[in-house]
Structure 1
Amino acid sequence: MAKSLRWAALGLGAVLAVAGCGTSGAPKVEQDADAPLELWTRTTPGGDGEKGMKKLAAAFEVKTGQKVAVTAIFDDFETKLSQRAAQKDLPDIVMNDSSQLGTMVSQGIVREVDLSKVEGSDQLIESALTVAKAGDGKTYGVPYSAQASALLIRKDWRAKTGLPVPKTWDELTALAKAFTTGDPDGNGKADTFGLAVPGSTKRGYASWYFSNFLWGAGGDFIAKQADGKYKPAMSTPESVAATKWFRDLACTSKVIQPGAATMDTPPTNETFEAGKTGLYVVGPYLMPRFDKSLGKDKYEVVPVPAGAKDATVLAEGGSAYLMAGSANQAGQDKWASYVISPEAQKLGMEGEKAFNVQLPVNKTVDVTSVRKDPRWKVYADVYRDSGRYAPSIPNWTPVRQATADTVNALIADCGLDVSAELTKLDGKLGEMLGQQGIGAS
């Protein structure tokens, strides 16, 4: 799951300090086009993600002569960034989740991107460019990597059942039941389950995962109106139907792994690779791990089956944020231009472990030009055809958390009334949207 910033720690004093860094009405910072760029990337220090970003930075320096100092931070990322904000000394560039755009814009720590100064921005896939725009219609980030969800299936288990690759939710449920009751691993024990679900409330995982089914059924968390405002949408007929179907997987057919309501992604990942679950909706980033732990011949990658409406699934990715107060805005624009170029997109996809570019956002780049594995083509096609990002509202985190709390409660307590709980949820969402100034009347 994309790593979420929690900006509650960034108090009013820090926000006002940032406002003095480079937002509207603040003193202009003297520019130096030769000044080195300080880049922060939210990843584990010393890990493959940091190594990959440094590889991109080194290639950028060779190409442009512009120096970039890369700092990888994972633990306490939010606190450290807020400290720098309070000091009016933000890094020049932050490489972070595209889903954080609304929050970062509302805190005043990023500057507007002038796409006319970002070479190649006209080559960006439209959906990727859309997620870089805030509610005011202005662009505040430059997406450089994308991902979307597909369905992983234990291929050897499915062969034993004789069932086809699921194309509908009914077929998905049937396969999940066969994996749960048909002893697909042949050990003579009832110890396998159909669908792996990270259903924890932690960081909104239950909502994050459920979005792959909610949208496919034509439902939504919140619905944008003609005037640009939003209304709660979890108690609409489509959302209720999707939630009941998902809840039935846990409560009626019982094809979800035990303890799903307390699991985030690490233990859920383990259920799939340990042969306890046979279906998993997830992004491409886990394939290298599962290839090693399971063997790539043991599972297949297919599009998520269509729901009542279509096969819309969650799209995510990373963006380059050009931070407010930089003394080298020309250098910021150069970096943004570089990371979306075909050269950098291909370089970022190279490697066998963690990739800085999961799927290319430049529509001229074919993923198969770097990765010959056809499973990556499945993911790329799903992203372009069916991927949908969470909306760029001022703060998506509380919306995701509130919906996760309700979805989690429904799969944990089979006695709860789905419609009643979703109606209560919509009341909470309405209050949140109003507090953010985007609630429809």
Structure 2
Amino acid sequence: MSRQLLGVAVATALAVTLTGCGSGGSSSDDALQIWIRQAPDSDSAKTAKKLADAFTKASGVKTKVVALFDDFETKLQQQAAQKKLPDIVINDTAQLGNMHTQGWLREIDMNAVAGHDKLSETALKAAQGSDGKYYGVPFSAQSFALIIRKDWREKVGMQPPQSWDDLAKLAKAFTEKDPDGNGQADTYGFVAPAGTKRGYASWYASSLIYANGGDFIKAAGGGKFASTVTDPKTVEAVQFLQDQFCKAKTVNPGAVSNDTTVTHEVFEKGQGGIYLVGPYVLARFIKSIGTDKLEVDPVPNGPSGGPGTLGEGENVYLMAGSGNQDGQKKFAEFAVSADGQKIGMNKDANGAIVRLPVNTAVDLSAERSDPRWKVFQDSYAHAVYAPPVPNWAPIRQDSADAFNAVWADCSADVKTKMGELNTKLTQELQSQKAS
């Protein structure tokens, strides 16, 4: 059986078996079980526990937070097979299609969700499936920007980058001019999570693609889509990155095998000075590197487009089969309330699970004193979310595999590889009946 047909069969079976089955939390200990994709015992997991405890205090509904990071989706698959899905999952917006096609998610009447009228329109769109219906409640949003070693930039006597040419020159200076002053050639310009795990290479490249006016796929009307990775603007962005890996050699060694967990550590160890990333690591880096050594700059417009940046975040997903649907709805409403959002933001401290608030009544500057957050807030105005195809996950993964291949193999022709990727994405859209 083909991968596509097998996926349909599994999704159909799960949709049937999950209907009416008890969730893991409700059936086992009468507590609303909440899963969040964070490392156990991390500051973020502790913030999630604070949010759940505040909800319990306000509503009387008991909760149990389960923080998992590695193989999160695989563990959800296992729970689904056992008919023990959690009641609530807080997970990436880009996972909506994947979870919906497997029959895991309850449809949500957004008009019946208290506080829905205060939710960001951009964030609301990321909670919709390809059919226009809602299958999640927005919880957190983020855009992407450049976290740069300010002390290094000043050491090499350069200004914040205003163009891709500036960015390349700054990366070259960080690589060649000993910005840490230790007398060794051990620094690089970019640190990049350019591995294929969970599609990270695609995730990393997205902001530059959008900043250049490129895209992965485009809407073709009637809920259908077409691949656009052969657009010269997209090819130009991927080529820019290949040039950094292969010609300028300004990317940290091993980047083509790294995920974000490793890349965070590479940046903290001073092996590179430019990290294109979301705001969720800002507080961590301030603590580990030092606030005076860091600045946040917007992603410069590409030579053929802009402005643009990847937009993403998390939704609160109400899982199918829960025995406590009223508790699910109440938790979602609390999570998007001003009180819930503020708890999730966690001020300027590490462990924020709400990066940018989705509740428009929450004033970011009143909650966070660090002005660097405003760069991310401003960038969110032109953020681009994954489109509402039935399942974005395989599109991101196929793209990551292709990008990683041209960065790891310097003899690879980017335009040719994007043509091959175009064929794969077209086939994937056809398999999803979205072409």
TM-score, length-scaled by structure 1: 0.90
Please tell me whether residue 266 in structure 1 is matched to residue 261 in structure 2: yes
Aligned partner of 2:211 in structure 1 is 216
Aligned partner of 2:161 in structure 1 is 166
Aligned-residue offset at 1:9: 10
Aligned partner of 1:313 in structure 2 is 309
- The separation in 2 between residues aligned to 1:222 and 1:66, in whole angstroms, is 42
Which sections of structure 2, spanning at least 5 residues, go unmatched?
none
Which sections of structure 1, spanning at least 5 residues, go unmatched?
1-6
Q: Do 1:145 and 1:356's aligned partners in 2 also have CA atoms closer than 8 Å?
A: yes
* Correspondence for 1:404 among 400, 403, 410: 400
Residue identity matched to 2:50 = K
What does 1:35-114 align with in structure 2 at a 5 Å threshold? 36-114=31-109
Spell out, residue by residue over 1:249-268, the C-alpha distance to the aligned partner (whole angstroms, 9 max, x if none). Answer: 12222222223222222332
- The separation in 2 between residues aligned to 1:264 and 1:87, in whole angstroms, is 30
Return 330-339 or 205-214, whichever deviates more: 330-339
Relative to structure 1, the CA distance from residue 434 to residue 11 in structure 2 (aligned partners, 3 Å threshold; closer, same or farther) is: closer
Aligned partner of 2:389 in structure 1 is 393
SS of 2:295's equivalent in the other structure is strand
- The separation in 2 between residues aligned to 1:86 and 1:202, in whole angstroms, is 23
Relative to structure 1, the CA distance from residue 89 to residue 412 in structure 2 (aligned partners, 3 Å threshold; closer, same or farther) is: closer
- The separation in 2 between residues aligned to 1:403 and 1:83, in whole angstroms, is 26
Relative to structure 1, the CA distance from residue 164 to residue 90 in structure 2 (aligned partners, 3 Å threshold; closer, same or farther) is: same
Aligned partner of 1:4 in structure 2 is none
Spell out, residue by residue over 1:87-108, the C-alpha distance to the aligned partner (whole angstroms, 9 max, x if none). Answer: 4443221122221100111111
* Correspondence for 1:415 among 390, 411, 414: 411
Spell out, residue by residue over 1:258-303, the C-alpha distance to the aligned partner (whole angstroms, 9 max, x if none). Answer: 2322222233223322222111111112222212221111111111
Aligned-residue offset at 1:149: 1.1
Aligned partner of 1:347 in structure 2 is 343
Please tell me whether residue 191 in structure 1 is matched to residue 162 in structure 2: no
- The separation in 2 between residues aligned to 1:267 and 1:79, in whole angstroms, is 21
TM-score, length-scaled by structure 2: 0.91
- The separation in 1 between residues aligned to 2:84 and 2:128, in whole angstroms, is 25
Spell out, residue by residue over 1:111-150, the C-alpha distance to the aligned partner (whole angstroms, 9 max, x if none). Answer: 1111121111111111110000000000000111122211
- The separation in 1 between residues aligned to 2:45 and 2:266, in whole angstroms, is 28
Residue identity matched to 1:323 = M
Return 92-101 or 263-272, whichever deviates more: 263-272
Spell out, residue by residue over 1:29-79, the C-alpha distance to the aligned partner (whole angstroms, 9 max, x if none). Answer: xx99xx753322233333333322221122112222222232333455434
Aligned partner of 1:207 in structure 2 is 202
Q: Do 1:57 and 1:68's aligned partners in 2 also have CA atoms closer than 8 Å?
A: yes
CA RMSD of aligned residues (A): 2.5
- The separation in 2 between residues aligned to 1:408 and 1:89, in whole angstroms, is 36
* Correspondence for 1:363 among 360, 365, 375: 360
Relative to structure 1, the CA distance from residue 431 to residue 175 in structure 2 (aligned partners, 3 Å threshold; closer, same or farther) is: same
Q: Do 1:38 and 1:68's aligned partners in 2 also have CA atoms closer than 8 Å?
A: yes
- The separation in 1 between residues aligned to 2:50 and 2:332, in whole angstroms, is 16
* Correspondence for 2:110 among 108, 112, 115: 115
Relative to structure 1, the CA distance from residue 161 to residue 43 in structure 2 (aligned partners, 3 Å threshold; closer, same or farther) is: closer
- The separation in 1 between residues aligned to 2:220 and 2:7, in whole angstroms, is 30
Aligned partner of 1:302 in structure 2 is 297
SS of 1:225's equivalent in the other structure is strand
Q: Do 2:131 and 2:223's aligned partners in 1 also have CA atoms closer than 8 Å?
A: no
Residue identity matched to 1:250 = F
- The separation in 1 between residues aligned to 2:356 and 2:295, in whole angstroms, is 18
- The separation in 1 between residues aligned to 2:229 and 2:320, in whole angstroms, is 36
- The separation in 2 between residues aligned to 1:97 and 1:389, in whole angstroms, is 11
Aligned partner of 1:247 in structure 2 is 242
Aligned-residue offset at 1:345: 0.6
- The separation in 1 between residues aligned to 2:314 and 2:64, in whole angstroms, is 19
- The separation in 2 between residues aligned to 1:208 and 1:78, in whole angstroms, is 17
Spell out, residue by residue over 1:193-239, the C-alpha distance to the aligned partner (whole angstroms, 9 max, x if none). Answer: 11112211222211110001111111111122123211111111211
- The separation in 2 between residues aligned to 1:183 and 1:74, in whole angstroms, is 36
Percent identity for Structure 1 against Structure 2: 49
Q: Do 1:18 and 1:86's aligned partners in 2 also have CA atoms closer than 8 Å?
A: no
- The separation in 2 between residues aligned to 1:290 and 1:79, in whole angstroms, is 30
Aligned partner of 2:370 in structure 1 is 373
Q: Do 2:11 and 2:103's aligned partners in 1 also have CA atoms closer than 8 Å?
A: no
- The separation in 2 between residues aligned to 1:408 and 1:76, in whole angstroms, is 21
SS of 2:253's equivalent in the other structure is coil
Residue identity matched to 1:123 = K
- The separation in 1 between residues aligned to 2:361 and 2:328, in whole angstroms, is 23
Residue identity matched to 1:402 = D
Aligned partner of 1:3 in structure 2 is none
Residue identity matched to 1:376 = W
- The separation in 2 between residues aligned to 1:67 and 1:434, in whole angstroms, is 44
